[in-house]
Amino acid sequence: MSLTALDELALTKVLDYSVSLTRKNTPKLLPLSLYISELKGREQIAGCLKTIRDGKPLSDVTRSRDRYFNSLFNQGLVDGNASSPVLTALANFYLEPLDQGADSGFWQEDGGDQVEAQVIRALVRELSLGRRSSEFFKNAWYGAQTFFDYVPDEEIASILNDRERMLFLFHINSNGWEIGRYFSLSSADRMAFEQAFKKIKPSKEWTPQSPIEIAATQYKDAAQTTQNDVRFRISGFLKAFKLLKDELGEKLPRLDRKLVLRSSVYDGAEAHYPEEIRAPRKIHPDLPRQLIITGCPGSGKSYYVNELVKTADYVVRTQFHPESSFFDFVGAYKPHPVYEAIDSSHPLVEGDGTLGLRGRPLIDYRFVPGPFMRALAYALLNPSETVAVVIEELNRGNAASILGDVLQLLDRDQVTGASQYEIDITPEQKSYFSSLGVSVNSLRLPSNLFIWATMNNADQGVFPLDTAFRRRWNYVYKGYTEVCGYPAENCRIEYGGLYYNWDQFRGVLNNHLVEQGIHEDKLIGPYFLTEQQLANSEAVLQKLFLYLWDDVLRFRQETLFLAKSFSGVSRDWKDGKGSPLTGLFNSALSKAIQEQSDAEDPILAPEET
């Protein structure tokens, strides 16, 4: 079986190139119900609860017994453990109709929906009050939440009454945004996608070739893990969600992607909620929205920004260079190969004479988002999460040109943190956002989007930043005088056969460079050498001394080095046993040590180490 080029194009409009994975590294779908494969329906759940009430074991098989218990426990119906389960009050919602003789029709139709809705209402109340909620329930609630975020209001009623269609949507919902892409399509494109997806077989039945065939097969593999009776459970859960959504309106609890409760007010009980549950999470108000970390090499700029990154929920990294452009950073239409179906009467042949399998190549153009657009889209889709764009080496590219009109968005409101101004959105950008289920008519940075960058002003080949660009950023300067944070036993360097404290050694070195008029951003920071490099004499030669020779003192090496060439420096270095620097430096180093003879880490003779 082989898909046509149109089939592949239709699939790419909805499916991602990789599904989400379970802990066992197998494909998974975002749950849309409290369905568990071990308990195949609501009637079986009621039967298990009756078995517990009657004092009987859930199963004679230990593994099945444990699975049944876990399923009931995740739904809040039992407590205790698998060998001694205890019914909770929620179990009565299932037991009462069972005691009244409800048959299978009751459980599969509206009667079963009503029972499940009562249980879910109770679970939602517990969730809203910040009490214990199983991860399983929160996953299902988040799945239903995203489902209703993406399905158009005018189509909700018809879909909730069509269990087969709900099952279809479930089968393409792995990462949480596929349903949004699907409903952003025209009716014709939806039909084309459905027909293409029907052609896909599980991996056991065929060998996919192209990337989108492989991706679609992963979705189909995930779908194979569900059974058809799941459509009843999806129906009941989504109808319960819709019922509570209509009842509670804006008070309906919402979870973020990490399943953390971000907003909820329930039954007027707001005064009893902890603060972090009553209000949506604040987006790190003390952090600057735009920040540049600058300083000399090895001053800890990247470490500083990595510590900031730990406060973010989602991070997009990029690095500027002389060839970087606005289209790389923001996004642009780019050529994309598609393949016309092979005509069996006119087969194509590869250059090596083998039969061509991909069809006749054609060039299509598609909008490819850059790191900025990917981060902006995620921030708009997840307003409760902190999103960061990290730009390394900001001034190695023409930053003002790369950002283009995005520069205007960097003026942030001091109160809300969002952009004060907006810029026009291009048709291709608008189409990209629509494909993700985001409706925007202009571009504006939301308060949860941060841009953090690193740079070094004195590096070779950097671009200057003009005043208009600089005034839109906050700055942190990491200087050469900061103390190195390495453990004391690793914070030392061998020179002339003796060991010196690294901070003392580079302190003398930096003072010498300052006297030579060297720019501060070219001095030696505390982390210029790693712990491993400090202990390796060859690394000290090749990284520290070569940097000083080639970059810092390019035309005046004689002010620091005794040798006339770097080969001479290497010869004088003698694996750390030699002293290749001038007598002036050596004298200054000895004087500094003498003045700090009571320092924590004085000179150590080699035999004492």
| Domain end (from 277, 312, 344) | 277
Per residue in 513-534, pLDDT (tens digit) is 999 999 888 899 999 999 999 9
**Amino acid in position 213:** E
- pLDDT over 70 at 599, yes or no: no
- pLDDT over 90 at 427, yes or no: no
- pLDDT over 90 at 109, yes or no: no
236, 306: one domain: no
108, 154: one domain: yes
Specify the pLDDT at position 286.
Answer: 63
Range of the domain at 137: 30-173+227-277
Whichever domain contains 462, its CATH number is 3.40.50.300
Per residue in 175-214, pLDDT (tens digit) is 888 998 899 889 999 999 999 999 999 999 999 988 889 9
Distance (Å, whole) CA 230 – CA 211: 29
Count of beta carbons in the 10 Å neighbourhood of residue 331: 21
H-helix or E-strand spanning residue 459: none
CB 76 within 8 A of CB 134: yes
Identify whether 65 is part of a domain: yes
Distance (Å, whole) CA 160 – CA 120: 17
Residue percentage of the chain with pLDDT more than 70: 90
**Angle, vertex CA 34, rays to CA 29 and CA 152, nearest 5:** 65
Per residue in 440-485, pLDDT (tens digit) is 888 999 989 999 999 987 666 678 888 888 889 999 888 888 889 8
Strands 423-424 and 261-263: unpaired
Name the DSSP class of 436. T
Alpha-carbon distances of 199 from 86, 192, 196, 215, 360, rounded to whole Å: 47, 11, 5, 13, 21
CB-based contacts of 468: which residues, under 8 Å, 6+ apart? 400, 407
- Render 82-118 in DSSP notation, one character per residue: SSSEEE-TTHHHHHHHHHTT--HHHHHSHHHHHHHHH
Strands 331-340 and 360-369: antiparallel
- Give the mean model confidence (pLDDT) for residues 539-560: 92
52, 165: one domain: yes
Identify whether 463 is part of a domain: yes
Question: What's the whole-number average pLDDT of the chain?
Answer: 84
Structure tokens at 290: 């735009």
Q: Which of 312, 584, 604, 299 is nearest to 451 (CA)?
A: 312
Distance (Å, whole) CA 546 – CA 566: 8
The span from the first CA to the last CA of the chain, in angstroms, equals 70
Identify whether 207 is part of a domain: no
142, 256: one domain: yes
268, 403: one domain: no
Identify whether 139 is part of a domain: yes
320, 379: one domain: yes
Identify whether 67 is part of a domain: yes
Alpha-carbon distances of 601 from 497, 509, 528, 533, 573, rounded to whole Å: 16, 18, 20, 19, 23
- pLDDT over 70 at 94, yes or no: yes
- Render 533-583 in DSSP notation, one character per residue: HHT-HHHIIIIIIHHIIIIISTT-GGGTBSSSSHHHHHHHHGGGTS--B-H
Task: Categorise residue 30: left if φ over 0, alpha if ψ from -120 to 50, beta otherwise.
Answer: beta
Per residue in 370-421, pLDDT (tens digit) is 999 999 998 888 887 889 999 998 998 999 899 999 999 999 988 788 898 8
> Phi and psi dihedrals of 483, rounded to 5?
-80, 140
- Alpha helices for 200-265 (secondary structure H): 211-224, 230-248
305, 253: one domain: no
Identify whether 192 is part of a domain: no
| Domain end (from 456, 478, 500) | 478
Q: Specify burial of residue 89 (Cβ count, 10 A radius: 0-12, 13-18, 19+).
A: exposed
461, 520: one domain: no
Identify whether 360 is part of a domain: no
- pLDDT over 70 at 283, yes or no: no
404, 317: one domain: yes
Task: Categorise residue 576: left if φ over 0, alpha if ψ from -120 to 50, beta otherwise.
Answer: left
396, 473: one domain: yes
| Domain end (from 416, 447, 478) | 478
Specify the pLDDT at position 406.
Answer: 92
Structure tokens at 263: 């907003």
321, 382: one domain: yes
Distance (Å, whole) CA 434 – CA 22: 28
Q: Which of 292, 296, 295 is nearest to 474 (CA)?
A: 292
Structure tokens at 509: 């070195």
Identify whether 61 is part of a domain: yes
Q: How many domains does the chain have?
A: 3
- pLDDT over 80 at 171, yes or no: yes
**Amino acid in position 421:** Y
Strands 78-80 and 290-295: unpaired
**Amino acid in position 491:** C
Specify the pLDDT at position 135.
Answer: 86
423, 546: one domain: no
The single residue listed with the structure tokens 């199963």 is: 59
Distance (Å, whole) CA 501 – CA 267: 65
